[in-house]
Amino acid sequence: MMDSPDYWRFVAALVFVLGLILAVAWVVRRAGLAGARRPTAGGRGRRLAIVDTQVLDARRRLVLVRRDGVEHLLLLGVQGETVVESPIAPSDRTASFKARLVEAAGGEEAS
């Protein structure tokens, strides 16, 4: 049978492990390693939507945003936001996004 010090040791170990899990989750979220969130299907009929995102590095991200049927490519970073291309016709969206991705990555082919 466990006595009182064993219970306190168990509770302390449990609190320690939960604290480690929370610390790792905070670091992953802060470093941007959690990945991009994808828009849900419940956003139909809305005027504003995130069409696609691409993480360039730990501090920069390209975001393709649609507003009232017009798409805009934004570069989001620590220093602020930059409009890379606007407006984008929906028919050439994929080619334009890939071209701007290569351009923003410094001219190297993106994988």
Question: Sheet of 61-67: strands edge to edge?
Answer: 48-55, 61-67, 70-76, 81-88
> What pLDDT, on the 0 to 100 scale, is given for residue 24?
94
User: What integer is the mean pLDDT of 76-83?
Assistant: 87
User: Higher confidence at residue 100 or residue 10?
Assistant: 10
- What would the pLDDT profile of 25-76 be if each residue is shown by its tens digit? 988 888 777 665 555 555 456 788 888 888 888 889 999 888 888 888 899 9
Cα separations in angstroms, 3 against 9, 10, 15, 17: 10, 11, 19, 22
Same-domain pairing of 47 and 99: yes
> What pLDDT, on the 0 to 100 scale, is given for residue 25?
92
Does some domain include residue 109? no
> What pLDDT, on the 0 to 100 scale, is given for residue 22?
96
Same-domain pairing of 69 and 94: yes
Which helix (H) or strand (E) element contains residue 82?
strand 81-88
Same-domain pairing of 28 and 52: no
> What pLDDT, on the 0 to 100 scale, is given for residue 34?
67
Same-domain pairing of 53 and 89: yes
Structural domain for 30, as ranges: 1-34
- What would the pLDDT profile of 17-33 be if each residue is shown by its tens digit? 999 999 999 888 887 77
Same-domain pairing of 29 and 45: no
> What pLDDT, on the 0 to 100 scale, is given for residue 96?
66
Same-domain pairing of 50 and 13: no
Same-domain pairing of 55 and 97: yes
C-beta separation of 106 from 60 below 8 A: no
